[in-house]
Amino acid sequence: MGVTRITQKGQITIPKDVRDGLKVKPSDSVVVVMDGDHAMIYAARERKLTELRGQLPATRPYPGVDEVRAEVGRRMAARGTRKKR
């Protein structure tokens, strides 16, 4: 934990021990989340889409690629946005 000041531009320097704990380096992104009257900082980690599989509960079984493509085509056609091949 450390104390830091806010610059004229609203920027802060994250103290070294916090950067080390989050394992962030220059040009990495962080997420700042408000929680009541305080903010929390998290390291923003880029993840591959395949790593996210199963993170959200399914509301129904996956119908398969062909059915998904067909449904997208139907919805685009209904909106008049489907491209002609």
Instruction: List, for residues 29-85, the tens digit of each pLDDT value.
Output: 999 999 999 999 999 987 777 877 777 888 888 888 999 999 999 999 988 865 666
Domains of the chain listed by start with CATH number: 1-46 (2.10.260.10)
Angle of CA points 18, 34, 38, to nearest 5°: 65
The predicted-structure confidence for 10-30, as pLDDT tens digits, reads as follows 999 999 999 999 999 999 999
55 CB-contact burial (10 Å; exposed 0-12 / middle 13-18 / buried 19+):
exposed
